[in-house]
Amino acid sequence: MFRCGIEYPRCRWILPLLLLFAIIFDIIAIAAQSGWVEDEGAKTHYASMWTQCRGHNDQWDCKSLMEHPWAQAVAALMIIGLIILIIAFIVSFVALCCSLNITLLPLIGGLLILAVIIQIIALIIYPVKFNELIYEGYYDYTWAYGFGWGATILMLGCGILFCCLPSYEYELSGMAKPKYIYTSA
Q: DSSP strand E in the chain: where?
A: 37-39, 45-47, 51-56, 59-64, 139-141
Q: What is the pLDDT along the chain (185 residues), one digit of tens a residue?
A: 334 445 666 667 888 899 999 999 999 999 987 778 887 776 777 888 888 888 877 788 888 888 999 999 999 999 999 999 999 999 998 888 777 777 888 999 999 999 999 999 999 998 888 888 776 777 788 888 999 999 999 999 999 988 887 766 656 656 566 666 666 66
Distances (CA, A) of 148 to 22, 32, 70, 119: 9, 10, 17, 8
What are the structural domains of the chain? 8-34+66-173 (1.20.140)
Distances (CA, A) of 96 to 92, 136, 157, 168: 6, 49, 17, 13
- Checking DSSP bridges between strand 37-39 and strand 139-141, what pairing results, if any? antiparallel
